[in-house]
């Protein structure tokens, strides 16, 4: 539930081992925001979504280079 809007309920489907604790599932659900923010940054700064290819090898090269550029920029920003 949202703290600001208690009537808003979020649902998650999780594939986890039978012994996974509720805290582990909550941590994974909370990580989705950081992952989405990472993809948005990669799209804006590195052109992750700017591909016009017809075949998998071209798409794979573009995505690989865009993600490498994003990793490099993130490492520079962390210094």
- The encoded tokens of residue 52 equal 């016009």
Question: What pLDDT does 70 receive?
Answer: 92
Does a structural domain hold residue 3?
no
11: region left, alpha or beta (phi > 0 left; psi from -120 to 50 alpha): beta
Q: Are 14 and 25 in contact (CB under 8 A)?
A: yes
Indicate the number of domains in the chain: 1
- φ/ψ (deg, to 5) at 32: -65, -30
Does a structural domain hold residue 43?
yes
Read off the pLDDT of residues 13-31 as tens digits, 9 standing for 90 and up: 888 899 999 999 888 888 8
> What is the number of other CB atoms lying within 10 angstroms of the CB of residue 28?
13
Does a structural domain hold residue 62?
yes
* pLDDT higher than 70, residue 1: no
Does a structural domain hold residue 17?
no
Does a structural domain hold residue 50?
yes
Residue ranges making up the domain that contains 31? 22-78
Read off the pLDDT of residues 35-58 as tens digits, 9 standing for 90 and up: 888 888 888 888 888 888 889 999
């Amino acid at each position: 539930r949202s703290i600001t809007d208690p009537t808003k309920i979020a649902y998650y489907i999780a594939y986890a081992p039978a012994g996974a604790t509720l805290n582990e599932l909550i941590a994974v659900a909370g990580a989705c925001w950081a992952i989405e923010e990472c993809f948005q940054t990669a799209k804006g700064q590195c052109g992750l979504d700017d591909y016009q290819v017809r075949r998998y090898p071209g798409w794979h090269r573009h995505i690989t280079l865009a993600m490498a550029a994003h990793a490099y920029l993130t490492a520079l920003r962390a210094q």
